[in-house]
Structures are given as structure tokens and as C-alpha cells.
Structure 1
């Protein structure tokens, strides 16, 4: 099975010069948790609601900040003709939950961890993908847990 068969083609895209506040409103209004930042159809950054929470809100940054200052770059991309298993291995290697799908350098879709994990033919790979991505996304708070007061 190919990435193109499981990817989402309707992707929310924004200008990299947009403000954090504009992107947060866009996410709210469109009901999405991520936005691809693109320049003339070419992805240049990727921002998630978690990025906004961790690098903007938690750090007390201004909503007028340029979103590209908080976006993930370079964008981890997949080819639409890549096998789903290959896309899963790419997610594991890069520690990401989403791949931006590009063809000839232009955005054509996004494929998520759930898109891939639910369609993998290798159940062991699906379990490893889920476990490794979840672990990669967890913050490292050290070995001792502390109560938040």
C-alpha cells in the first residue's frame, strides 16, 4: 500500500509570516491540530497545537510572534509513492507523528501516525511505530517524578 492511498489531501496551509495568534485561531476555526507553513505551495515549516502550547504559551511568548519562529523545520517529508511501511520507518527514525507528503517539491497531503499504523500489514511494526513515536514525543523530566503545586 502506498502513502498516497492513506494520506489526507485537504491540508490546512498558512503563510510562514502569519502570527502565532492567527495560526491558533485558524486551528480552532478549522478544527485541526496542525498547519503546514508553505511558500508558493512548497512546505517550509510545520506547526502543531502542542508546539503552540509548549514553545509559546508555556514560555510566556507573545501571540504576535511570527509562527515560523516556533515551527518545526526542516519539514520531514514523504513521497506519495512511498510504501506505507517505509513511511512508518521514516516516522520512527525522525521521531515524528506526521509526514508532509510532497511531489516534485509541492505539498500534496499529510499522513499521520494513525493513518499508517491502522494500515500496516506488519502488526509488530505498527506496535513499534506507536511505542517509539509516543516515547519520542514525551518530554524528559528525569527519573524522579515531582508533584506540581
Structure 2
């Protein structure tokens, strides 16, 4: 199955210069834990609820004055619409991540693929293996 059949087609992104507090409100409104970050119409990172907790709250930074670009995760792991869900599962397993931005052939953000999307698209055994892999305890 192609990723384009399993992904959430709607994917908002945050601007790199947006205050972290605004992204947190987006996360709350959409009940999500990760938002792609864009600059000059290109994907440049991801900001997660974990980024906010560890790089803003735990460090005592002001979320109204801290910009997304300062605390986002810069190493972007993504998949493309023409790949299969199985390809995405292997990537998520390898990188130990639960969400992937989905890019089209022009490298434009067209959706997000989450662990939940995978679980609704493939068999229970395969989605269970992925859940186990990305949920491994840290040593």
C-alpha cells in the first residue's frame, strides 16, 4: 500500500519564526504531538511536545519569546508519497520515531504518517511489531 493511501492528507506546519507558545496552542487544538516546521516554503525541521518540554520548559525559557527554530529538531526524517507503508515502517523502526512528514515528488509537505495511521493500514502483527520497536525502553 502506498503511503499516500494511509497518511493524514492535512498537515499544517509552523513557521520557523513563530513563538513556541503558538505552536503549543496548535498542538492542543489539533490534539497532536508534532508539527512540521517550514521556512521559505521548505520543510526545515519538526517541533514536538518533547522538544517543548525539554528545550523550553525544563530550561526555563519563555515560550512567548522563544522561536520554534531555536528548539526544533533539525534532522528531518521523512517519507515520500510513492513509497509503501512497509518502507515507512522500516524507516520508523530504524529511526525509532512515531511520526513522519510525507513529501511529494517536488519535496512539498502533503501529509503526515503516524503510528496510528500505520495501525489502521496494515495487519495487527506488523503494526504491533512497529509499536514494540519504537517504544523500546532506553538503557
TM-score (norm 2): 0.87
Question: Structure 2 stretches of 5 or more lacking a match?
Answer: none
Shift of 1:112: 0.3
Partner residue, 2:117: 115
**Paired residues of 1:78 and 1:87 also in contact (CA < 8 A):** yes
Shift of 1:65: 1.2
Question: Relative to structure 2, which stretch is displaced further, 32-41 or 97-106?
Answer: 32-41
Partner residue, 2:51: 51
* 1:58-108, Cα deviation, whole Å (9 max, x unpaired): 222221111112111221110111111110000011111111101111101
Query: Is residue 2 of structure 2 the alignment partner of residue 9 of structure 1?
Result: no
**Paired residues of 1:41 and 1:107 also in contact (CA < 8 A):** no
For residues 54-133 of structure 1, what are the structure 2 equivalents within 5 Å? 54-63=54-63, 64-103=65-104, 104-121=106-123, 123=125, 125-133=126-134
Shift of 1:122: 7.2
For residues 33-44 of structure 1, what are the structure 2 equivalents within 5 Å? 33-44=33-44
Shift of 1:117: 2.7
Aligned residues: 137
2-structure distance, mates of 1:31, 1:75: 22
TM-score (norm 1): 0.82
Query: Is residue 28 of structure 2 the alignment partner of residue 28 of structure 1?
Result: yes
Instruction: Please tell me whether Structure 1 or Structure 2 has the larger radius of gyration of its CA atoms.
Output: 1
Q: Which has the higher contact order (CA 8 A, sep 6+)?
A: 2
2-structure distance, mates of 1:106, 1:132: 28
1-structure distance, mates of 2:111, 2:32: 14
